Amino acid sequence: MIYVLGSINYDISLELERMPKKGETLLADGCGTGLGGKGANQAVAIARLARKYDDGRRSVKMIGRVGNDAMGAELMQKLDDYGVDTEFVRKVNRSTGLAMVSVSGKDNRIVVYSGANLGFTKSDVDEALEHATSADTLLCQLEVPLYIVGYALRKARAIGMTTILNPAPAKELPDDFYYNVDIIVPNELETQELTGINPRDESSQLAAMEKLLEKGVRYAALTLGANGAAISDGEKVTGHIPARKVSVVDTTGAGDTFVGALALTYPHVGMYSFKEACLFATKAASLTVSRHGAAASIPTFEEVCELYNNEIK
């Protein structure tokens, strides 16, 4: 089982010809609403890419919070429809998290109002992980309170679970965080925030990953957008995975698809090597960028297989 501790947002996406300047009002070319939030997107990626059990069992449990409002109800329903187990998603008396996503060409800019996502308590974590075992995985991001993420990672480590951290949005982390993380998956901005190194070429990517491994994580995968990913376990696996060439419609959720796909394939299934899992994750993410929206743009396993046919191992 994979437990995803993280945010659930109601995304409002605006398609723009270009980003507005300071003080300017722009008219959008299109608008969409839907399920988002880094936690929810990653949980959806796992559910969509996982094998389906005949007995209806689900591969992913979301630990999250939505408001007791119409948006919260809609998002809960969407999570369920996508195949995410919502037993540990609480409805609380705060407004549901909201994200304004401006999309223009290959760029996006996101502003989040956290709302219910800030209301986590340690008992949410205790309750959700009560029956977790060392065969399970915990996946976190940083759109919920940092001390809760730290607490969950410590607890998961004590249980012997595999732990994965997508340190997004970028934030400085206390040193003891790294000791409880097996796999860290930052993007370029987050890598720079955590290591002080801009991963713009092969040598800076290697230096940044080395720094992360020195801090205590076991594996690092840097997601580099159109430049693919750089990966390292510090010993046997070090390398670069090129991005797939696709026509980009909206990059929202691409990083989340990569993280979810990696969380699913590497530690859980056990039949992929770290490099193969990252290759699969890159392919899944390349489909996400060819569609609009966040959770709604994440492909199923069959769609990834169909597109890449023999390339999937």
Using CA atoms, how far apart are residues 260 and 83, in angstroms rounded to an integer?
14
Q: Cβ 271 to ligand RIB, closest distance in Å?
A: 28
Cβ neighbours of residue 313 closer than 8 Å, sequence gap 6 or more:
272, 276, 279, 280
What's the sign of the alpha-carbon dihedral 10, 14, 18, 22?
A: negative
Closer residue to ligand RIB in complex, CB, 52/171: 171
* x/- letters, 89..108, toward ligand RIB (CB under 6 A): ----------x---------
Structure tokens at 42: 């990653």
Using CA atoms, how far apart are residues 60 and 81, in angstroms rounded to an integer?
13
Q: Cβ 185 to ligand RIB, closest distance in Å?
A: 12
Q: Do 18 and 45 meet the contact criterion of CB atoms below 8 Å apart? A: no
Stretch near ligand RIB under the rule CB under 6 A, chosen from 5-13, 129-137, 200-208, 273-281: 5-13
**How long is the chain?**
313
DSSP bridge pairs for 9: 36, 97
Of positions 2, 3, 7, 257, contacts ligand RIB by CB under 6 A: 7
**Residue 44 burial by Cβ neighbours in a 10 Å radius (0-12, 13-18, 19+):** buried
Closer residue to ligand RIB in complex, CB, 112/208: 112
Cβ neighbours of residue 164 closer than 8 Å, sequence gap 6 or more:
137, 138, 139, 140, 181, 182, 183, 184, 185, 259, 262, 263, 267
Using CA atoms, how far apart are residues 111 and 199, in angstroms rounded to an integer?
24
Closer residue to ligand RIB in complex, CB, 46/161: 46
Q: Cβ 53 to ligand RIB, closest distance in Å?
A: 27
Stretch near ligand RIB under the rule CB under 6 A, chosen from 36-44, 64-72, 207-215, 219-227: 36-44
CA 90 and chain centroid, separation: 20
Q: Do 8 and 294 meet the contact criterion of CB atoms below 8 Å apart? A: no
* x/- letters, 250..269, toward ligand RIB (CB under 6 A): --xx-xx-------------
48 is a contact residue toward ligand RIB (CB under 6 A): no
Closer residue to ligand RIB in complex, CB, 76/206: 76
Q: Cβ 253 to ligand RIB, closest distance in Å?
A: 5
DSSP bridge pairs for 103: 15, 108
Roughly how many angstroms between the first and final C-alpha of the chain, as a whole number? 22
Q: Cβ 175 to ligand RIB, closest distance in Å?
A: 26
Of positions 4, 16, 38, 220, contacts ligand RIB by CB under 6 A: 38
Q: State the number of binding residues for ligand RIB (CB under 6 A).
A: 16
* x/- letters, 51..90, toward ligand RIB (CB under 6 A): ----------------------------------------
124 tagged catalytic: no
The interface with ligand RIB within residues 131-160 (CB under 6 A) comprises 143
Q: Do 144 and 120 meet the contact criterion of CB atoms below 8 Å apart? A: yes
Using CA atoms, how far apart are residues 184 and 223, in angstroms rounded to an integer?
10
Q: Give the CB-nearest residue to ligand RIB.
A: 36
What's the sign of the alpha-carbon dihedral 253, 63, 50, 213?
A: positive
Q: Cβ 38 to ligand RIB, closest distance in Å?
A: 5
* Positions marked catalytic: 256
Q: Which residues bind ligand RIB (CB under 6 A)?
A: 7, 9, 11, 36-38, 41, 99, 110, 112, 143, 252-253, 255-256, 294
